[in-house]
């Protein structure tokens, strides 16, 4: 990746790093990863920017909002996609996930 790199597959170490809000470690991502997730991705942010963005995102997903708004939308999107399935045919999970994603984007204001 062009510099000294540590990659951890250890869940305990990863949890420790994430719980410390990246104070002890600063993630470095290859340019290709930044292009995929975007410069404003929560994954790319560090320290105070990460803490603020995470807090904003979590406050948006309250239990009440999940029950009243998101579940209603998710139900309709999933119903629309599943209604196109024909009995006895093989269904591609990857293809159907892409279809749900495409349907979701159409519903955005």
- Judge if 15 and 55 occupy the same domain: yes
CB-CB contact of 103 with 77 (8 Å): yes
pTM above 0.75, yes or no: no
The DSSP symbol for 61 reads S
Q: What percent of the chain has pLDDT over 90?
A: 3
- Whether residue 3 lies inside any domain: the answer is no
Give the domain range for residue 55: 11-60
- Whether residue 94 lies inside any domain: the answer is yes
Identify the band that residue 17 occupies on the pLDDT scale cut at 50, 70 and 90.
confident
**Hey, what are 29's tokens?**
């991502």
Q: How far apart are CA 1 and CA 16, in angstroms?
A: 24
- Whether residue 4 lies inside any domain: the answer is no
What digits encode the pLDDT tens for the residues 65-108?
777 777 888 888 888 878 878 777 787 777 777 776 666 555 54
pLDDT at 35 over 80: yes
């Amino acid at each position: 990746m062009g510099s000294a790199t540590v990659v951890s597959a250890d869940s305990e170490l990863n949890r420790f790093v994430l719980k410390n809000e990246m104070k002890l470690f600063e993630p470095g991502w290859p340019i290709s990863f930044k292009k995929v997730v975007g410069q404003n991705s929560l994954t790319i942010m560090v320290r105070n920017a990460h803490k603020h963005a995470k807090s904003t995102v979590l406050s948006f997903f309250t239990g009440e909002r999940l029950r009243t708004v998101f579940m209603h939308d998710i139900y309709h999107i999933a119903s629309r996609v599943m209604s196109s399935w024909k009995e006895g045919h093989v269904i591609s999970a990857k293809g159907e996930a892409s279809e749900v994603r495409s349907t979701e984007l159409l519903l955005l204001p």
